[in-house]
Amino acid sequence: MKKQVIECEFEEYSNASELSDIDKVLFLEAKRISQNAYAPYSGFNVGAAVRLENGKVILGTNQENIAYPSGLCAERVALFSAHSSYPKQKIESVAIYAYSKNFIVDEVVSPCGACRQVIAEYEEISKQAISVIMGSDAGVIKTNGVKQLLPFRFSSKGLKS
Ligand code: THU
């Protein structure tokens, strides 16, 4: 037996104004669109903004449903929409912003496991890391590639015999 350690590298910003201009624009788009979330059950509004290689920005918000599992996270709404409209465009970056109608979000909000797996798929097909910029009013964190967030992800290699 050999113990192994995986490190997670990320950049921490005390607020969005410290981000580079291109990242700030994306993050502020995620923040703006979070107002449109359909989240009557959780009161937790999430906005996501996806930047493509061609510069286009695709937005999404969480969509809830009375049959709870039928809803979808903001990240996947934006990512699936981006890849549906522009299947050949590489995804460069995803920004996420969240706030609650019921309490102060005092942590940076990061994508759930299922959304990380979806980001990993697009990284794999484009052979390019996707940066993830995640935040709330508590601060902003940026990772270069979802590998930092999901080191033991399931990959297509797992399906090959
Ligand atoms: N949610 C997202 O949209 N993205 C995340 O990364 C975490 C959670 C949504 C799902 C649900 O509508 C609400 O937040 C509460 O979990």
Q: Is the pLDDT of residue 160 over 80?
A: no
Q: Is the pLDDT of residue 8 over 90?
A: yes
Which one of the listed residues 75, 92, 121, 123 is annotated catalytic? 75
Give the torsion sign (CA, 37, 41, 42, 43). positive
All structural domains of the chain, each given as residue ranges with its CATH number in brackets, are 11-119+126-138 (3.40.140.10)
Q: Is the pLDDT of residue 19 over 90?
A: yes
pLDDT, position 119: 97
Where does ligand 1 bind, in terms of residues with CB under 6 Å?
Answer: 39, 42, 44, 46, 62, 64, 71, 73-75, 111-112, 115
Condensed to tens digits (0 to 9), the pLDDT of residues 76-116 reads: 999 999 999 999 999 999 999 999 999 999 989 999 999 99
SS3 81: helix
Q: Is the pLDDT of residue 156 over 80?
A: no
Q: Which long-range contacts (CB under 8 A, 24 or more apart) does 9-14 make?
A: 9/143, 9/144, 9/148, 10/141, 10/142, 10/143, 10/148, 11/141, 11/142, 11/143, 12/139, 12/140, 12/141, 13/135, 13/139, 13/140, 13/141, 13/142, 14/139, 14/140
Give the mean pLDDT of 133-161. 88
pLDDT, position 24: 97
Rounded Cα distance between 130 and 39, Å, is 27
pLDDT, position 161: 63
